[in-house]
Amino acid sequence: MLIACSSWLILLKLRLYLNLIKLNGYCRDKELQLESAMDARYEQLLNGLLDPRLDEQLELRFQPVVGCRALCGVGVEALLRWCHPQLGWVSPEEFIAIAEQHALMRRLTLWVIKTSFNYLQRWLRQGMCVELSMNVSMLDLESNYLLAALRAAAEHSGVPPAQVIIELTETAGVQNPVFALRQVKRIQRQGFHVALDDFGSGHAGLLQLAALPVNRVKIDRCIVKACEGSWQHQRVLIGLIEIAHQLGVDVVAEGVENAQVQALLNANGCDYVQGYFIASPLTVEEFKPWYQQQIKTHPKVRCAYKGKG
């Protein structure tokens, strides 16, 4: 029996089943072997998340966010990556799901906060005008540690809170939504900006936008990608932009992969774009040359995000 039934595990198992049937035909023994292997991988990842040496295996990648109209301005999203000593690079969707199931997100979140502020401090001291966004789970809002960690990191590094955007993921699973909402407001009062991630899909929908005091929304990449060749999805995308703007919220479109989609977004007032059309997630060593090229191309470049109070 599988230890967990999270969506990534189900999809991976189905994909492996299809490949197995295509190559060898259906075989119950091989199905049991596959199930056993999946359980073993889950245990290996869980043990890795509990490993005291986990911090040494984590890295950040930085994906640029730019203004939609001129494709300039510099903001970055910090993306967590894990290189497991035996399994190699593990998908964030895979290990984040396990961390959430076993109440292990706190360690990962604290590492991301500390590391992000260290890089941001370095860039600002080098005269690089960069605003950085980082993802936190709504589950992180169910205790006081997140706000305390953000405040301590800002004070220690000297980084202005206005340079940092906290991206909130799904609201599903939150046991105390009233307390979580209170925490969001406290984070904003400290000067940080807040974004609703994956807007338009799952639980990150219109009710969350109306309830949460966010500064911006990030339209889910699946919605952006579905716009290619589909006028119905284009209308949905345009509607989401209009609703966000009517509520006084800036819009970031994720997953922009070509000029046609960027042009559609620009024509309909999207504020910022992010995706492989702009740049892939970069290592810290790759980001500085990318930034310098931005400055060379756009001498009057400013930070991508203009935070609202």
pLDDT of residue 305: 44
Contact 216, 195 (CB under 8 A): yes
pLDDT of residue 307: 41
Contact 13, 38 (CB under 8 A): yes
List the one residue out of 308, 300, 196, 218 whose CA is nearest residue 265.
Answer: 218
Which numeric CATH code is attached to 56-297? 3.20.20.450
CB-CB neighbours of 249 under 10 Å? 21
List the one residue out of 100, 5, 97, 86 whose CA is nearest residue 51.
Answer: 86
pTM given for the model: 0.84
pLDDT of residue 287: 95
CB-CB neighbours of 238 under 10 Å? 17
Q: What angle do CA 68, 286, 297 make, to 5 degrees?
A: 45
Looking at residue 7, its amino acid is S
pLDDT of residue 27: 53
Phi, psi of 275 (to 5 degrees): 155, 180
Cα 129 to Cα 292: distance, rounded to the nearest angstrom? 11
pLDDT of residue 138: 80
Q: Which one-letter DSSP state was computed for residue 275?
A: S
pLDDT of residue 308: 40
The DSSP element (H or E) to which 196 belongs, if any, is: strand 193-199
**Residues contacting residue 159 through CB under 8 Å, at least 6 positions apart:** 117, 120, 121, 124, 153
For the chain, the first-to-last Cα distance in angstroms comes to: 50
pLDDT mean by block of 10 residues, the chain; 309 residues? 47 53 52 61 92 97 91 87 95 89 92 97 91 90 91 96 89 72 92 90 64 88 89 92 92 94 95 95 95 79 48
pLDDT of residue 100: 86
pLDDT of residue 116: 97
Q: Which one-letter DSSP state was computed for residue 303?
A: B
Cα 130 to Cα 162: distance, rounded to the nearest angstrom? 11
Domain ranges of the chain: 7-45, 56-297
